Amino acid sequence: MFLVPEEQLPIILKGVQTVVDERELKDKLQYSYDTRKPLIVKLGLDPSAPDIHLGHAVVLRKMKQLQDLGHQIVIIIGDFTGRIGDPTGKSKGRAALSSEQVKENAKTYYNQIFKILDENKTIVRFNSEWLSALNFEDVIQLASSISVARMLERDDFQKRYKNEVPISLHEFFYPLMQGYDSVEIKADIELGGTDQTFNILMGRQLQKHFGLEKQIALFMPLLEGLDGIEKMSKSLGNYIGVNEAPEVMFKKVMEVPDSLIIKYFELATDEHPSRIGKTQERLEQGENPRDIKLELAEIITTLYHGEEEAEKAFDFFKTAFQKREIPENIPMLTLTLEHQTLEQVIPLLIENQLVKSKSEFIRLISQNGVSLNQQKLRKEDLVNVIQSKDVLQIGKKRFIQFMR
Amino acid sequence: MFLVPEEQLPIILKGVQTVVDERELKDKLQYSYDTRKPLIVKLGLDPSAPDIHLGHAVVLRKMKQLQDLGHQIVIIIGDFTGRIGDPTGKSKGRAALSSEQVKENAKTYYNQIFKILDENKTIVRFNSEWLSALNFEDVIQLASSISVARMLERDDFQKRYKNEVPISLHEFFYPLMQGYDSVEIKADIELGGTDQTFNILMGRQLQKHFGLEKQIALFMPLLEGLDGIEKMSKSLGNYIGVNEAPEVMFKKVMEVPDSLIIKYFELATDEHPSRIGKTQERLEQGENPRDIKLELAEIITTLYHGEEEAEKAFDFFKTAFQKREIPENIPMLTLTLEHQTLEQVIPLLIENQLVKSKSEFIRLISQNGVSLNQQKLRKEDLVNVIQSKDVLQIGKKRFIQFMR
């Protein structure tokens, strides 16, 4: 069932920015292989983040690869932290959540996480299970494992201490809690972004303090968004959401800058490193990056929507953009139930600055300046129902595509 | 029953080094007077210290004065801290105590504390009662009340941080625990030595955090020992123990340097400030300090042993030292059951460097060089039983007095 450690290692380390430490990882893999005992692989999730995009998915894809190698995935939902919130009330992102909210958020998570991981092979645990059971004496024991100076080494704490921005003492407990989760589940490997370095290494320290073997830390790099510069983020609009429609997802992948193609293969797909190596060679030998991106778009869309939908998205992309000779980078507009007819959509067009007013839009129609799917529109067409994927063109340069 | 605040204030502030703050204290006294509600006066005791001397008693005497003014004394035995000990094992003074040891220590305390305070009017509470009931969430709440920078301002922490001597994170909780005790009992006043400044002010901060009125901090100065220089301490041998025999206590007070007479009146007695003022005047007008010290010795001995015993100690002092013309500063040697006869005491004499060997001691006796209570000793007297208060003289200058 298990691959030999030498075959697991390149898969596990694909795309990983830092591993602490590789020697220990090899030993753990060997022991797991010899005893046929899967390794326990931990990922902690904060219950306040809702929509997952490919940037978030980088760690989840790595989890999926470890799951496919036969290891035991454990997702820890940090509901204890979420329930406490920030008692000082300073951090708005840390408002205390009710246990209903936490459960509600967790459901949203499940929908997205299990697009990537196999639900039947994944253990999900809430850390309030053990953290709320700790008493003062246990907390003292926990706190005795670390020095104040070491805690102040964490980047953000250090900056705040130097700049005299108060750090509330309780903030020192968030890394301790995360570290204690590793003790509780006896994690062999913990995954996280590089921004989690301190917290994940804390897990190693705490496991040692409690007489356990130290977990391996796998740090994944940050994934740049479609602009090729900034970290993928919803607020910057440079993201590909895992819940986006297949056509949208496909088209967005086609917008990835050529320089990031290989990085996306490494961090956003589960392709074997040897295949990625070959793809890189093809690029270096001068193959058109666009063709390779079509492969990437199909692989990523398949991961989240299955082969059939990915095929459809591929066809749609070809029809809509390649054959019809309309620009590929036209914006998309999502319609809701109240936007059935073209007339009902006009307010959205104004909002998105495609036209100034309803009267301007009607004037443009009467001047033959508006087309839908490259058919000129007449006034009487305003009552027509808009279909998903319809492309509206206003004048020569203004395009928009509707999605439902 | 209550004195008016204006009469209470000088008694409360007698000998106090710092009060935080006096305005608030006056308000509390006024409110207490108006409502006939006693103030809650807190003293925290660490269950690891056993023998109380007059230096320790400074705060207890202040408590007694507050008790006599009608306020409610609450002694907090810090058994929770004692039971935890120091999980890092670095501090030897902080070995974890079993709850039996804590109870045993508490008993020793009671014997000594209730020589000063009225047992029937004193509430004793163990802080494990509320601290062991706190869960992780409560601890986070507690920790959120203080910043890391503020904690690092405490003298000892600051020094260690600067000198890179590790501070374990749990050490930050000792002041928080002590502060939380004040929240729990809704203390109006907390007493302590100046070395407790940080911890007692923490109580004020925590009470504010939990929406309570802030306690008043009364800091008592350190009492110098019989050498007049160092802080009174058992290890320096410059102490007067509250459990010492009346004669020893009386005689030790007579050794207090003249410059400290008034300070001892202020810190080691419950005399009214107006009387102390008059005593100071008498000294300044040239009255023999020795006579005033006799009064001080009688007052202090009465406090711990009652009038009758103090009277006896006074008589003994006069007989033994003034009438018999032997030096007043002769050392005392405590005998145990195995030291009955003079012969059995010889090893102690050697240990205390009064004689070099048994043979030297016997030679000196045969040369008529040894007396007991100013009677020359003969060899056959070696089997005589030594009585308490017997004075042994060897040669011209070596004196010792035995005590049982």
Report chain A residues whose CB lies below 8 A from the CB of B80: 136
Report chain A residues whose CB lies below 8 A from the CB of B146: 168-169
pLDDT confidence of residue B400: 87
pLDDT cut 90: percent of chain A above it: 56
Report chain A residues whose CB lies below 8 A from the CB of B84: 137, 140
Number of residues assigned to chain B: 404
> With an 8 Å Cβ cutoff, are A167 and B152 in contact?
no
Q: Is the pLDDT of residue A49 over 60?
A: no
Return the CA Rg of chain A. Answer: 25
> With an 8 Å Cβ cutoff, are B152 and A147 in contact?
no
Strand ranges inside A112-243, DSSP E:
122-126, 189-193, 216-220
CA distance A102 to chain B (A): 16
Strand pairing of A72-77 and A122-126?
parallel
Q: What is the pLDDT of residues A336-362, one digit of tens each?
A: 888 888 888 898 888 888 899 998 999
Strand pairing of B391-394 and B370-372?
antiparallel
The mean pLDDT of A311-315, rounded to a whole number, is 92
Burial class (CB in 10 A: 0-12, 13-18, 19+), B246: buried
Choice between A49 and A59, residue whose per-residue pLDDT is larger: A59
ipTM of the complex: 0.71
Choice between B53 and A81, residue whose per-residue pLDDT is larger: B53
> With an 8 Å Cβ cutoff, are A136 and B137 in contact?
no
> With an 8 Å Cβ cutoff, are B166 and A152 in contact?
no
Measured between alpha carbons, how far is B296 from B314 in angstroms, rounded to an integer?
Answer: 11
Q: Which residues of A touch B (CB under 8 A)?
A: 80, 83-84, 86-88, 131-152, 157, 161, 164, 166-170, 172-173, 176
Q: Which chain A residue is nearest to residue B132, measuring alpha carbons?
A: A136
Measured between alpha carbons, how far is B307 from B298 in angstroms, rounded to an integer?
Answer: 8
Q: Which chain A residue is nearest to residue B86, measuring alpha carbons?
A: A144
Question: Does residue A1 contact residue A35 with C-beta atoms inside 8 Å?
Answer: no
Burial class (CB in 10 A: 0-12, 13-18, 19+), B35: exposed
Report chain A residues whose CB lies below 8 A from the CB of B148: 148, 152, 157, 161, 166-169, 172
The pLDDT-based confidence of A323 (bands split at 50, 70, 90) is: low
Contacts 24+ apart (CB under 8 A), A21-29: A21/A216, A24/A214, A24/A216, A25/A189, A25/A216, A28/A188, A28/A189, A28/A216, A29/A5
**DSSP, residue by residue, B209-267:** HTTPPPPEEEEEPPPB-TTSSSBP-TTTT---BTTS-HHHHHHHHHTS-GGGHHHHHHH
Of A133, A144, A176, the CB nearest to B168: A144
Report chain B residues whose CB lies below 8 A from the CB of A133: 135
> With an 8 Å Cβ cutoff, are A148 and B172 in contact?
yes
The pLDDT-based confidence of A1 (bands split at 50, 70, 90) is: low
Provide block-wise average pLDDT over 10 residues at a time, chain B (404 residues). 90 95 96 96 79 90 96 92 65 62 76 89 93 92 91 90 90 92 97 91 95 96 92 87 91 93 96 94 92 95 94 86 64 82 89 88 89 84 84 85 83
Measured between alpha carbons, how far is A95 from A85 in angstroms, rounded to an integer?
Answer: 5
Cα–Cα–Cα angle for B232, B236, B238, nearest 5°? Answer: 50
CA distance A192 to chain B (A): 25
Choice between A374 and A161, residue whose per-residue pLDDT is larger: A161
Burial class (CB in 10 A: 0-12, 13-18, 19+), B31: middle
pLDDT confidence of residue A48: 64
Q: Which chain B residue is nearest to residue A151, measuring alpha carbons?
A: B169
Q: Which chain A residue is nearest to residue B163, measuring alpha carbons?
A: A149
Of B87, B146, B167, the CB nearest to A169: B146
Report chain A residues whose CB lies below 8 A from the CB of B165: none
> With an 8 Å Cβ cutoff, are A134 and B132 in contact?
no
Domains of chain B (ranges, CATH numbers):
5-220 (3.40.50.620), 246-322 (1.10.240.10), 332-403 (3.10.290.10)
pLDDT confidence of residue A177: 93
Q: Is the pLDDT of residue A4 over 60?
A: yes
CA distance A172 to chain B (A): 9
CA distances (Å), A397 to each of A360, A370, A394, B226, in order?
Answer: 16, 11, 7, 99
CA distance A133 to chain B (A): 7
CA distances (Å), A230 to each of A222, A223, A224, in order?
Answer: 9, 9, 5
Q: Which of A174, A203, A152, A179 is nearest to A88 (CA)?
A: A174
The pLDDT-based confidence of A322 (bands split at 50, 70, 90) is: low
Tell me the Ramachandran region of residue B389: left when phi exceeds 0, alpha when psi lies from -120 to 50, beta otherwise.
left
> With an 8 Å Cβ cutoff, are B168 and A147 in contact?
yes
pLDDT confidence of residue B90: 57
Q: Is the pLDDT of residue A83 over 80?
A: no
Report chain B residues whose CB lies below 8 A from the CB of A151: 169
A 10 A CB-CB count for B330 gives: 17
How many Cβ contacts (< 8 angstroms) between chains A and B? 115
Q: Is the pLDDT of residue A87 over 80?
A: no
CA distance A153 to chain B (A): 13
A234 marked among binding-site residues: yes
CA distances (Å), B333 to each of B228, B280, B312, in order?
Answer: 22, 34, 20
Q: Which chain B residue is nearest to residue A173, measuring alpha carbons?
A: B140
The pLDDT-based confidence of A18 (bands split at 50, 70, 90) is: very high
Query: What contacts B387, CB < 8 A, 6 or more positions away?
Result: B402, B404
Return the bridge partners of A400, or none: A392
Element (H, E) at A307: helix A289-317
Q: Which residues of B touch A (CB under 8 A)?
A: 80, 83-84, 86-88, 131-152, 157, 161, 164, 166-170, 172-173, 176
Q: Is the pLDDT of residue A288 over 80?
A: yes
pLDDT confidence of residue B313: 92
Question: Does residue A60 contact residue A43 with C-beta atoms inside 8 Å?
Answer: yes
Which of A139, A153, A163, A172 to mutate against chain B (most B CBs within 10 Å)? A139
CA distance A132 to chain B (A): 6
Number of residues assigned to chain A: 404
Question: Does residue A185 contact residue A74 with C-beta atoms inside 8 Å?
Answer: yes
Q: What is the pLDDT of residues A165-222, one digit of tens each?
A: 889 999 999 899 999 999 999 999 999 998 889 999 999 999 999 999 999 999 999 9
> With an 8 Å Cβ cutoff, are B136 and A139 in contact?
yes
Choice between A115 and B91, residue whose per-residue pLDDT is larger: A115
Report chain A residues whose CB lies below 8 A from the CB of B166: 147-150
Q: How far is CA B150 from the centre of its chain?
A: 31
Report chain A residues whose CB lies below 8 A from the CB of B137: 83-84, 132
Q: Which chain B residue is nearest to residue A89, measuring alpha carbons?
A: B144
Q: How far is CA A231 from the centre of its chain?
A: 11
> With an 8 Å Cβ cutoff, are A148 and B139 in contact?
no
Asked if the bond preceding A21 is cis, omega within 30° of 0, the reply is yes
Q: In this structure, is the dihedral angle defined by the CA atoms of residues B215, A138, B95 and A172, taken in order, positive or negative? A: negative
> With an 8 Å Cβ cutoff, are A143 and B167 in contact?
no
Q: Which of A300, A186, A272 is nearest to A8 (CA)?
A: A272
pLDDT confidence of residue B89: 56
pLDDT confidence of residue A52: 84
Among A71-75, A319-323, B180-184, B296-300, the minimum mean pLDDT is found in A319-323
pLDDT confidence of residue A187: 98
pLDDT cut 70: percent of chain A above it: 93
CA distances (Å), B28 to each of B36, B213, B217, in order?
Answer: 11, 10, 12
Report chain A residues whose CB lies below 8 A from the CB of B170: 140-144
